[in-house]
Amino acid sequence: MLIKAKVTNTRSTTLGYVTLKYIARSHGLEPHLKKALVVYQRLSSIAAQSSRTALLKLTLRSLARVDEKGNKVLYPGEYLLLMNNGPLAEVAFNLTGEQAVIDEWPQPEGNRTGKGVSGFKGY
């Protein structure tokens, strides 16, 4: 999904601006973060009293969370897309269907229990 954000410089000098997009969600593994940065774009040299458009690509991978085995999992539910801190704008959307592993983290042979590396004593 491509998100367009119009940025207007209302000042009298040329400025740069960083457009940040966060996702807020309350599903999947706990703890739930208030928000997580998923994409950003730096716009440089925005002339005084003019506008530029930031083009931000939001992917399914950027919406996924990491599970206890290191896999990237996409969870169904309501998501909130927030622009910058404040936020300046927000959009809610809903993902439907079943949760899905979209990227599997390689697991070492013989350690399929999830109880840690055998022989490791820690510090």
The overall pTM is greater than 0.75 = no
Q: How many domains does the chain have?
A: 1
Does residue 75 lie within any of the structural domains?
yes
Does residue 116 lie within any of the structural domains?
no
Q: What's the rounded Cα separation, in Å, for the pair 117 and 123?
A: 14
Structural domain that includes position 36: 2-103
Mean pLDDT of the chain: 86
Does residue 117 lie within any of the structural domains?
no
CB 79 within 8 A of CB 23: yes
pLDDT digits (tens, 9 = 90+) for 55-75: 999 898 888 888 888 899 999
What are the two backbone dihedrals, phi and then psi, of residue 60, each rounded to the nearest 5 degrees?
-60, -35
Task: Give the whole-number percent of the chain exceeding pLDDT 70.
Answer: 89
Q: How far is CA 69 from CA 3, 7, 63, 72, 103, in A?
A: 31, 40, 18, 9, 11
Does residue 112 lie within any of the structural domains?
no
Domain of 18, CATH number, reads 2.60.40.10
Residue owning tokens 């000098």: 13
Residues in the chain, total: 123
Does residue 121 lie within any of the structural domains?
no
Q: Which residue, 49, 54, 51, is CA-closest to 83?
A: 54
